[in-house]
Each structure stands twice: as C-alpha cells, then as structure tokens.
Amino acid sequence: MDYKFINTDYLDSVSDGDTEIIRELVNLFRDQVAETHIQMKKLFSEKDYNSLGLLAHKAKSSVLIMGMNDLGSMLKTLELQAKEGIETDKYESYITRFANDTSEAVNELDDLVNNRLKQK
C-alpha cells in the first residue's frame, strides 16, 4: 500500500523497525486522536479558543511522530490563531481535517502493522 498520510521511514527510525513497538504507538495514537477530536469540538463549541490552541499544540506532537508533517503544520496554524482568537471561522474546518486525516492515518497504520506481521 502506498501511504499518503503516514511516513514509515520516521516510524521505523523511532521504533528501530520493531513491529510490536509500532503496534503500541498505533494503539496510543488511535486513543489520543479520538480523545483529542472530542476535546477540540467541545472547546470550539464553548469558544474556549486559548485552550483549543493549547490542545492543538499537544496534538501536533502526536501527528508529527507519525510523520504527518502537513497536518502538523495545520495544527501549528490552529494553535497560533486560536491563542490569539483570530480567524475563528477557520477552526471548524481545521478540526474536521484533523479528524479525517487522523482517521486515514490510523487505517494506514493498521495496514502497516498487519503487513509487517504477515512478513514475520
């Protein structure tokens, strides 16, 4: 499978190519992004933009570990805009993109782990 959302080179470097470590990272990532998405929607609906910016900063680290540099850049934009409370009309689309991209990444990560396990 050709991966559009994740960077397997980076994952291999942080896991030393160990499929079990990658599986652990995938499970942590899956849980984190689901919780982060729920929190993002809640903070957005409450108009708690500063907290949304702080959460975007935290989420950025998680997606960068998976090699998702484009999403990381978008989260940096959300972080800076939300902390300033500017361009609030864009936040909802950022949150939607976060949900969509991380969902696709989880699918790719599952495929990666399954393929690596088959090769053993």
- Residue 93 forms part of a structural domain: yes
- Residue 3 forms part of a structural domain: no
Q: What is the pLDDT of residue 41?
A: 98
Q: Where residue 101 sits, what CATH number does that domain have?
A: 1.20.120
Q: Phi, psi (5° rounding) for residue 108?
A: -65, -40
Q: What is the pLDDT of residue 38?
A: 98
Q: What is the pLDDT of residue 2?
A: 86
Q: What is the pLDDT of residue 21?
A: 93
- Residue 1 forms part of a structural domain: no
How many domains is the chain built from?
1
Give CA 16 to chain center in angstroms: 21
| Residue 2: CB atoms within 10 Å | 4
Q: What is the pLDDT of residue 99?
A: 98
Structure tokens at 106: 């989880």
3-27 confidence digits (pLDDT tens): 999 998 888 898 998 999 999 999 9
- Residue 33 forms part of a structural domain: yes
Q: Phi, psi (5° rounding) for residue 54?
A: -65, -40
Q: What is the pLDDT of residue 100?
A: 98
Predicted TM-score (pTM) of the model is 0.93
10-residue averages of pLDDT along the chain (120 residues): 88 90 94 98 98 98 92 98 98 98 97 89
Q: What is the CA radius of gyration of the chain?
A: 15
Domain interval for residue 38: 8-119
Taking alpha carbons only, the member of 43, 52, 47, 41 closest to residue 82 is 52
Q: What is the pLDDT of residue 73?
A: 98
Q: How far apart are CA 97 and CA 118, in angstroms?
A: 32
**Conformational region of residue 21, where left means phi above 0, alpha means psi within -120 to 50, and beta covers everything else:** alpha
| Residue 86: CB atoms within 10 Å | 11
- Residue 41 forms part of a structural domain: yes
